[in-house]
Structure 1
Amino acid sequence: MRLAVRGIPTPDADQLRRGGPDANGQAALRRRAEGQGNPCRHCLDLIAEGDDKLVLSYRPFAGPQPYAETGPVFLHAAGCERYDADALPAWFGFMAQALVRGYDAHDWIVYETGRVVAGRELEAACRSILENEAVAYVHIRSKFNCFQCRVERG
């Protein structure tokens, strides 16, 4: 099975960079990236230490509903190209642990799909979850439950 791995949509990233409201109705905070753990959720690349980043609340769903989790994410403050590929970024393999879970076509969690796996197991976990016909897509989240990306059947 081919995968389709995507960062957050460009229109979402652009409106946040222009000062539009995040999922909590607030403008993103501008900060300098410190250390290695600053992944941009649009290009799925790591933000270089010292570069400007935006810190904001993001809900990767069309609207609020019981399963529409919201959490903190980072974006490059400057524009970047959206990640849209058939494989996870290489650095995902170095995540100590990550949460993966499938969602149905109504954006509800398919409970039996939830897993905590090491980064090197993410691709296999996504493929396994997407074998379930009830699953429309998978979210990968950090061990702190921060949204990383969406994975669909390619």
Structure 2
Amino acid sequence: MQTAPTLLVRGIPTAHAHALRQGGPDAHGQAPLAQPSSGLGNPCRHCLQLIAEGDTKLVLAYRPFDAAQPYAETGPIFLHQAGCERYEANALPAWFAHLTPALVRGYDARDWIVYETGRVVPGAELAQACRDILAREDVAYVHIRSKFNCFQCRVERA
């Protein structure tokens, strides 16, 4: 019986978040837009924490891949305008349990989607879904996305 892999959950790279906070171009070549956070659905993709009501967030287009290619999806994300610590842990943030539904899918070493891995699951089932997908040898990592297909984070084997 194969042991389920331990997860390594990561926010977007710090160098990229820093460049965006300094006005660097997003995936569409535009500067991020700064605006006040409102409501509860504003997660920072660097620290993976919710941006507090009234705090300034950056809104931008993000492509979580190093190069453009057919499977390199681009979509909107939020970042804290102020600096924050990158999330790197062996568990998903607790608030991910409230992502309903969420999309998970595995990618191979070429950054192409491994089609058989795509699933829509309740937030409470995300960690197990990631473990199941990462148990496959042909999967290099998993992306979690919101129900709107917004990138949330990358999950790898620890």
TM-score (norm 1): 0.99
C-alpha deviation, 1:96, in angstroms: 1.3
Structure 2, unpaired ranges of 5+: none
Q: Which segments of 5 or more consecutive residues in structure 1 lack a partner in the other structure?
A: none
- Whether 1:127 aligns to 2:127 is no
Give me the whole-angstrom Cα distance separating, in 2, the residues matched to 1:39 and 1:119: 14
The Cα shift of 1:95 comes to 1.1
* Number of the residue aligned with 1:38: 42
Q: 1:144 aligns with which of 145, 148, 158?
A: 148
Out of 29, 32, 36, the position equivalent to 1:25 is: 29
Distance 1:129 1:105 in 2: 14
What are the within-5 Å matches in structure 2 for residues 4-153 of structure 1?
4-153=8-157
Shift >4 Å, 4+ stretches: none
Amino acid at match of 2:100: A
Question: How far apart are residue 139 of structure 1 and its match?
Answer: 0.1
- Identify the residue that residue 3 of structure 1 maps to in structure 2: 7
Q: Percent identity?
A: 73
Counterpart residue identity of residue 150, structure 2:
C
State how far apart, in whole Å, the 2-side matches of 1:3 and 1:121 are: 14
Inter-partner Cα distance in structure 1 for 2:61 and 2:71: 16
**In the alignment, residue 21 of structure 1 is paired with which amino acid?**
P
SS of the residue 2:153 aligns to: strand
Distance 1:68 1:2 in 2: 26
Offset from partner CA, 1:96-139 (integer Å, 9 cap, x none) = 10000000000000000000000000000000000110000000
RMSD between superposed Cα atoms in Å? 0.3
1:134 counterpart letter in structure 2: D
Shift of 1:141: 0.1
- Between Structure 1 and Structure 2, how many residues are aligned? 154
Q: Secondary structure at the match of 1:87?
A: coil
Q: Distance in 1 between matches of 2:142 and 2:149?
A: 14
